[in-house]
Amino acid sequence: MYEKEREEMVERLVKWGYLTKPEIIAAFKKVQRHEFTPANVRGYAHVDQPLPIGYGQTISAPSMIAIMLESLELGPKQKVLEIGTGSGYNAALIAEIVGGEGKVFTIERVAELAEFGRDNLQRTGYGRVNVILGDGTCGYEAEAPYDRILVTACAPELPKPLVEQLKVGGKLGAPVGQHYMFQTWTVAEKRSENEISVRECGGCSFVPLVGKYGWK
C-alpha cells in the first residue's frame, strides 16, 4: 500500500537535493511513512508538509527529516539518541540507517505519544528501538555516551546535558531559536571534552522543546 506514493516522494526529495546519501535514500524507501501517520491525515502522508499527530504535536515534513538526517552523517553501527519520539517515524529511519549493530534510544515527554510511537515502531518491525518516557532535555545518562543526538523540537539553546552525553567526535543536531519562528537547524560537533564547533544549517520551524533545559 502507498508504494507508488512513497517512491515518488523519495524521487522528489532526491531531485530537490534534500536526499543525497544512499543509505538514507534506502531508509526513506523502506520505512512506510503512512504507518506512522494518524488515520485522519494518512492520505497526506507523502506530501511534503508536517502533519498533526495529536496533543499539539507534529510529524515533520519529509524534506525537514532529510535535512536532519543528512546533516548528522548517520551511519551503520552508531548509537543514537533522539529527543521527541512523536510518531516514531524518524526513529524508524534512524534504526534502518544504523542497522542491527547500531542502537537507537528515543525519548518522548507526552505519555500518549510515547505509546503511539512505540506501537507504530513495534507494528512495523522496529521493536528494537527503545522508547523512553521522560524529559529528553536531560538526555538519557544510562546509555551515554552517544555517537549522534538528534533533537526534533526547538530549544532556546543547545541543552547542556545533551552536549555532555555526546562522544568526542560525536554530533548533536537541534533546532535552536524562538517559539515556532526564527529557528535554525544547528549541528554541533564535540571536538574534545571541552570544545564544540557549531554550524548553522538554515531556517526551520519546530514545536517547542519543553523541559528542564528547554522551554518551561
Residues designated catalytic: 60
Q: How far is the CB of 67 from ligand SAM (least distance, A)?
A: 13
- Name the β-bridge partners of 175: 185
Count CB atoms within 10 A of the CB of residue 180: 11
Name the packing angle between helices 89-98 and 62-71 (round to 10°): 40
C-alpha cell at 120: 507504530
Q: How far is the CB of 7 from ligand SAM (least distance, A)?
A: 20
Interacting residues of 115 by C-beta distance below 8 A, sequence separation 6+: none
Cβ closer to ligand SAM: 102 or 211?
211
Q: How far is the CB of 140 from ligand SAM (least distance, A)?
A: 10
Q: Using alpha carbons only, what angle is made at residue 89 by residues 8 and 20, rounded to the nearest 5 degrees? A: 50
Classify burial at 165, counting beta carbons within 10 Å of its beta carbon; exposed 0-12, middle 13-18, buried 19 or more.
Answer: buried
Q: How far is the CB of 209 from ligand SAM (least distance, A)?
A: 4
DSSP secondary structure, 137-163, as one string: GG--GGG--EEEEEE-SBBSS--HHHH
Interacting residues of 96 by C-beta distance below 8 A, sequence separation 6+: 26, 27, 30, 31
Cβ closer to ligand SAM: 52 or 99?
52
Cβ closer to ligand SAM: 60 or 165?
60
Q: Which residue has the cell 552525553?
A: 165
H or E element: which one contains 188?
strand 183-192
Cβ closer to ligand SAM: 56 or 100?
56
| Closest residue to ligand SAM using C-beta atoms | 84
Cβ closer to ligand SAM: 65 or 169?
65
Give the binding site for ligand SAM (CB under 6 A): 57-60, 83-84, 86-87, 89-90, 107-110, 113, 135-137, 152-153, 206-207, 209-211, 214
Q: How far is the CB of 118 from ligand SAM (least distance, A)?
A: 12
